[in-house]
Amino acid sequence: MSSTKRYWQDLAQLDQASEAIQGRDNEFQAPLPIDEMLADKGLTGATTGRRDFLKFLGFGLGAASLAACETPVIKSIPYVNKPEEIVPGVPTWYASTYYDGQDYASILVKTREGRPIHIMGNPRHGLNRNPRLDKGTINARINSSVLSLYDGERLKGPRKNELNDSARTWEDLSWADADKAISGKLAELSAGGKRIVVLTPTVISPSAKAAIAQLRARYGAKPAAEGQPAAGGAQVDHVQVDSISYAGVTGANLKSFGLRVMPSYDLTKADVLVSVDCDFLSSWGSTTEHAWQYASRRRPEDGAMSKHWQFETRMSITGANADERLAIKPSEVAGAVIALHDAVARKAGAPTAGGGMDHPQLAAAADALWAAKGKALVLCGSNDESVQVVVNRINDLLGAYGSTIDLANHTWFFQGDDAAAAQLVKDMNAGQVGALLIAGTNPAYSLPNAAEFKAGLEKVALTVCMSTHADETASLCQWVCPDHHYLEAWDDHMPKVGRYALSQPVISPLFDTRQWQESLVRWSGGTGSYHDLIKATWQGALAARADAATAPPFATVWQTSLHNGVYEAYTNPNTAVPFAGDAAAAVAMAKKNAGAGGEWELVLYTKEGIGDGRHANNPWLQEMPDPLTKVTWDNYVLMAPSDVKRLGLQTYLGQESPASVVTVAANGVELQLPVVPAPGQKAGTIAIALGYGRGANGEKVGKAACLPNDDGTTTPVGRNAWPFVTLVNGTASMAVGNVTVTPTGTTHPIAITQTHLTHMDRHSVVKETTLATWSKHDPKGTYNHQHELAVHEDVNEDGAIDARDRLPVKEFDLWEEHAVEGVGHRWGLSIDLNTCTGCGACVTACTSENNVPVVGKDEVRRSREMHWLRIDRYFSSDMTKERAKEEGLGKIDMYLDMEVPSDNPRVVFMPMMCQHCNHAPCETVCPVAATTHSNEGLNQMAYNRCIGTRYCANNCPYKVRRFNWFNYVTDKFADVNPAWSELGRMVLNPDVVVRSRGVIEKCSLCVQRIQAGKLEAKKAGVPVADGAVETACSAACGTGAIVFGDLNDSKSRVARLHGEERAYMALEEIGVKPNVSYLAKVRNTEETAEAHHA
Amino acid sequence: MHSESAIREPLILGHKTYHDITNDIVAPIENKAPRAWYVLITISSLIALYGIGCILYLIGTGIGVWGLNKTVDWAWDITNFVWWVGIGHAGTLISAVLLLFRQKWRMAVNRSAEAMTIFAVIMAATFPVIHMGRVWMAYWVLPLPNTFGSLWVNFNSPLLWDVFAISTYFTVSLVFWYIGLIPDFATIRDKVKSPGMKKAYGILSFGWTGNAKAWTRFEEVSLVLAGIATPLVFSVHSVVSFDFATSVIPGWHTTIFPPYFVSGAVFSGFAMVQTLLLVMRKVMKLESYITIKHIEYMNIVIIVTGSIVGVAYITELFISWYSGVEYESYAFINRATGPYWWSYWAMMTCNVVSPQVFWFKKLRTNLTFTFFMSIVVNIGMWFERFVIIVTSLHRDYLPSAWNLFHPTWVDVGIFVGTLGIFFTLYLLFARFFPVLALNELKSILKLSGESYKQQAQHHHH
């Protein structure tokens, strides 16, 4: 039987009467009155004649065409000819590579309607890929770099500076004019036999090197090998200088193994890891690689957990993650390394040197290293070549080469040569440099001898700066030929032996800029683009390979590489290399270099957010709290709390408690900076972050780096500490001895996001234990104790109802269950306190994904930062409940003592976002039901419904709700909030609304991504696969600390993690039933943190 | 029906006649206001204008002009709200509850106390409205049929209960007050000579004729309204306390709050009545009507409610220890010893310790001292709300979020501004409205009995 029903208009139609059929066929059933109209006599009486009609017609046509001519062409017309791969509303992802001389990562760039808006690590390819979890590790600097693309202060075209004019004026030029003038000058200098120098950070791009080679071929009278002086005539040199120097490390490897390189480290193989002043997770070496490698050995469930010792001066991210940490002075670094060397050498039967530092922690570390021989690794952050030679020797004795250290597949990073840079500055001042072409670096700011460099610039006949901004260097050069942002440029990379990667443009250049390599190609007389050069270089390299005959054709290689972002050509077997250095001489030299520290010692470091200062223009990074101090928008002097107290300086920092300012002086350099008490800092030492104080002379270095005053001048964010860096034995040293610290009596406001330092021994917030305790697998009885309530029923079935009959609090429920358990999806997160390094990449990823406003220093100072995701940092305290009980201490005193962190505290990083409670306290109190529970377990916000009573924020036990105190897209926030400017607005994620003032916002678990993922699954007709949807934070977390998924899918990773014995809900006993669970922190120590201090 | 022991002091002193009462009460309306009134209203209205300016700045710029932050999302706003609501308790309590209990002494004070209630509730209601981030959407808290489909208010939210409780309380108090005013307006209408005022008071008196039927209905309506108003006196502050009691925040989540808040409200309400009446009786020469006895009675209410509040504070401390809940225990230790210890001890001193001096009859009948104490109690009760709101919020569960609250000039300006608006309204009331319930007062004036007694005594001698 047909299921199609038929309908009739009336019975006549049903009967198929002829009138009905006629009626159906005739559209106009009533006759049209055309004849009547034409017959109307009035028409003939109309005054408009035929000629007039034609005139009007002609005028009308003319007017219409004229009007059409004047209509501006609106470029935002949606794709009439739709590009094949772009669908409006659907993001397109491109694989690319981030490299800035300091950080390297394979990335995926998310573009919407042609605009890059988000960056994540490439989960399929690259050095930074965590193969175990299929996650691409990045850091906050890398995922925030998308915002720098839309910096309105980027240079918009080439210019010629009027250097004699103190008013900083310039002449805008066309590229053709600039090229003509510069090429002409280069030719003239070449003909005159002058030296031409290209100054860059480490170039790992084979094609960029080819471009430099082209320049050399064109202007060098006698082409010479790199670094070798040409025999007479003009010479084109390439000098590489890294802002953060690794010359000591690479130099030591040259001495020890004949290779001037940074080796590859494999922390996944390291059972025992000893780091001496090496912040390898955040600021030393290939951090995006180290982070995932390190974390993969930190989950006790996954087999042997590594043991990590850290000996360092300031509390670094790495030190905060260590199992054992000892604070040492910078002048003790060499001694610590020598002590380790001697202890290991003694066991190995090798000669010892003597004179090392004597400390039981060092002895214990050496014992553990030796016990884990072949699976041990020592890392050292010192840039002293001799210290690094000793470290190499230790690693050699431990059998690390061929195992945890790979020299056969070494990196090409950090090739910078401090000595060559120093020589260059000397040569410049001696008038021996004819032309200086600067790209990718800012020597006038970051060179230790920047003042001499600046003086030398004036003696160079041709100075060309290829930077993105009119920065410290560019404003002193004659010619400024602005570089692309890396998202606009083509590039290739060779991060390691046998490994290649590509960067591709994901947007047309926003301004009239040109990437510096292409400029070199032009000036060398080349006609093709840099893109052509890259292709040619690759084709050449492929053809030159020994296996060229069997290798896939170039077109395939190119396409695949472009798609994947990388090309992994080959890997050498990791074999041990014999140590050929002179350990005894190195020890002697190291001792000599260490010197006496004096009353105060200073270490310079780079922060997770700002790095070496190139990111200072990025408001996301300026507002990202420092992982340890939680300070934003400033650099400062880190000082041990005991020293702060001793000097009578401010110990508590808050909205109305500004930091005390001190004058730090060393080597003739003076700097006034606020003091931030830093638990874990070695007493008698201070630390200052580099990368601040950009644009101190009014240079246009980007908005957030330099904040405007009322009078139109600008004040740099922080102060520039680079002048403190000195060359010791030819390498830049970040440690400075004989420093004086003098309180000035003035104060400086500090914007800090966490004013309380400790967790007050609140075990339902932070749970931690030792590996030994964890190994007993009795979580409920030991570290993962659950709150219970006595009930009036025989729970334990002992026949009596008494106080021993208890049920866990989760069994009690005041409310009806939300119908989400086992029905449909229930989204949730699992956060592992063990693998969270605290780096903060999730914070900026969340900011980027969810259009979180930047509110500026003053508002952060008022504790009004808007981050949906924060990382709580807790220091341990010497005082615990157990200890107070033992000592019979009163509660008031106990709590007061608990507020004070230990001198050398243990640290817990706890990412905190909306916990998506199934019994959410915020939901019940909203008078207008603006925040409700979804049937997928999400606590959701309807911004449009919110009237802003903030009751929900008060009633949130986790304090994760954020209120829009102002309209952040107004002039008041113009200097900090990128969403204010038309250009900055391009970075906004169109899937997420920008919130108005007066409403509450908070983590949505990236509901827009969930919806998109569900839609994809629906289109494919399959259930949403585990891992198909990632929140911005979980995608950014290469260490796998944050895992997102469906809790109702019993096979999902997140459901499994919720069931692990380390799993707990924060504040479980208050019964809000979060969808976010944490995995308790396990430290590979002998004793508990509490016992350690008691 | 009415019987009275001969030794009890009369409620109205000075051998007043009915005519005297009418004259005394209507005189300020008929005559030119004293210079002091002009001075006071100038000051208070300027302060009021400043406050209104601050409110407009707040609404124009954003809640960020207050000192609130991510941890302390309510501070002076809700402190002021609860404080004003508390003050708004005395009037209705005096008129309704004391009416039901046939406490005749209330008649001299109920009119102005009720006026105070009305104005205080208006001030109170200002804060929940202006503290909203999007005040222009404030009407969304009303369960109005709307075009948003099935979008409805959240009946689980104590804030919504507040909306009902406050609006009901305000409406009933206003009607109750106005009904009481009708016969008095009629008296004024009949007495004043200016035709304009006659017309105005004629309209206000709703054509009151004063016949027996009207009086009967007046009495019935008063009694019915008193019956309705009495539970409201207890409900309104109970509901306000639910804002805190139903939450999960340590220091808020407390079952003792409803009775504790009500007694605290009565406590502060009576203190504010004292503040106002002591000034008014002096300025408007109402010493015969508002006698030392009234003052003493009210001081006794202050001791009783103050002591209840004190017991509540101590109970809270006990429970925080007895419960063994870590967070609860810390919340109270932190109140007394944390960064805001001074506000806790200000509260304890003003509310618990200081009213106990009223056990001395000499002090509770001393007008200057009573005035001083009324201010102390009001300060104490403001701190009580500050302690509950700010010190509970500033350090709750996660130490990472612990923070301090620092008020801005806008916080202060709006609070002071509401004091200005309140006093402006009250001064206008004192100038144009009968400040005492003159017709009701006549019912307690035992003119014939008193004169008979006096005559009898004269005879005796």
Q: Can you give the residue range of the structural domain that contains B334? A: 18-140+165-455
Of A873, A910, A921, the CB nearest to B247: A921
pLDDT score of A1093: 39
Q: How far apart are CA A946 and CA A733, in angstroms?
A: 54
Amino acid at A418: D
The shortest C-alpha distance from B178 to chain A (Å) reads 31
Q: How far is CA B292 from the centre of its chain?
A: 21
Which residues contact residue B336 at a Cβ distance below 8 angstroms, ignoring those fewer than 6 apart? B344, B345
Which phi and psi angles does A454 have, rounded to 5°? -65, -40
- Of A253, A302, A250, A306, give the one whose Cα is nearest residue A275: A306
Residues of A in contact with B246 (CB under 8 A): 924-925
CA dihedral A60, A65, A70, A71 (to 10 degrees): 100
What is the residue whose two structure tokens read 């952060």?
A860
With respect to residue B1, please indicate whether it lies within any of the assigned structural domains.
Answer: no
Residues of B in contact with A965 (CB under 8 A): 62-64, 68
With respect to residue B171, please indicate whether it lies within any of the assigned structural domains.
Answer: yes
Which residues contact residue A973 at a Cβ distance below 8 angstroms, ignoring those fewer than 6 apart? A853, A854, A855, A856, A966, A980
pLDDT score of A1092: 41
B246–A760: do the CB atoms touch at under 8 Å?
A: no
Of A891, A965, A1066, the CB nearest to B63: A965
B154–A950: do the CB atoms touch at under 8 Å?
A: no
> What's the alpha-carbon Rg for chain B, to the nearest Å?
24
Give the chain A residue nearest B402 (alpha carbons): A756
Q: How far apart are CA A473 and CA A444, in angstroms?
A: 5
With respect to residue B262, please indicate whether it lies within any of the assigned structural domains.
Answer: yes
With respect to residue B281, please indicate whether it lies within any of the assigned structural domains.
Answer: yes
With respect to residue B149, please indicate whether it lies within any of the assigned structural domains.
Answer: no
> Tens digits of per-residue pLDDT, B315-344?
999 999 998 888 999 999 999 999 999 999
- Of A291, A245, A240, give the one whose Cα is nearest residue A265: A291
With respect to residue B349, please indicate whether it lies within any of the assigned structural domains.
Answer: yes
B397–A1070: do the CB atoms touch at under 8 Å?
A: yes
| Ranges under pLDDT 70 in chain A | 1-4, 9, 13, 17-32, 34, 37-48, 66-85, 165-167, 221-234, 818-820, 1087-1094
Q: How far apart are CA A198 and CA A200, in angstroms?
A: 6
What is the residue whose two structure tokens read 């969304």?
B140
> Tens digits of per-residue pLDDT, A160-179?
988 876 667 888 889 999 99
Residues of B in contact with A755 (CB under 8 A): 402-404
Q: How far apart are CA B243 and CA A951, in angstroms?
A: 9
Q: Which of B63, B68, B73 to mutate to probe the A interface, most A CBs <10 Å?
A: B73
The domain total for chain B is: 1
Q: Which of B147, B155, B398 to mutate to probe the A interface, most A CBs <10 Å?
A: B398
B400–A954: do the CB atoms touch at under 8 Å?
A: no
Q: What is the pTM of this model?
A: 0.88
ipTM: 0.91
pLDDT score of A62: 79
Q: How far is CA B332 from the centre of its chain?
A: 28
pLDDT score of B110: 82
Of B134, B138, B140, the CB nearest to A999: B134
In terms of phi and psi (left: phi > 0; alpha: psi -120 to 50; beta: otherwise), the region of A703 is: alpha
Beta pairing partners, A135: A130
With respect to residue B11, please indicate whether it lies within any of the assigned structural domains.
Answer: no
Of B141, B397, B399, the CB nearest to A928: B141
The shortest C-alpha distance from B247 to chain A (Å) reads 6
pLDDT score of B458: 60
Q: Which of B144, B163, B400 to mutate to probe the A interface, most A CBs <10 Å?
A: B400
Residue B216's pLDDT band (boundaries 50, 70, 90)?
very high
Q: How far apart are CA A938 and CA A932, in angstroms?
A: 8
B133–A963: do the CB atoms touch at under 8 Å?
A: yes
Residues of B in contact with A924 (CB under 8 A): 154, 156-157, 246
Residue A338 near chain B (CB below 8 Å): no
B330–A760: do the CB atoms touch at under 8 Å?
A: yes
Of A755, A764, A964, the CB nearest to B133: A964
Q: Which of A959, A967, A1000 to mutate to probe the B interface, most B CBs <10 Å?
A: A959
The shortest C-alpha distance from B77 to chain A (Å) reads 11
Residues of A in contact with B140 (CB under 8 A): 928, 945, 947
Enter the tokens of residue A49: 């004649």
Q: What average pLDDT does chain B have?
A: 87
The shortest C-alpha distance from B396 to chain A (Å) reads 7
Query: Strands A659-666 and A706-708: what pairing?
Result: unpaired
In a 3-state reduction of DSSP, which class is residue A865? coil
With respect to residue B128, please indicate whether it lies within any of the assigned structural domains.
Answer: yes
pLDDT score of B104: 77
Q: How far apart are CA A698 and CA B65, in angstroms?
A: 31
Q: How far apart are CA B441 and CA A154, in angstroms?
A: 82
- Of B160, B174, B388, give the one whose Cα is nearest residue B261: B388
Amino acid at A765: V
B132–A947: do the CB atoms touch at under 8 Å?
A: yes
Which residues contact residue B188 at a Cβ distance below 8 angstroms, ignoring those fewer than 6 apart? B26, B29, B197, B201, B205, B434
Q: How far apart are CA A912 and CA A223, in angstroms?
A: 58
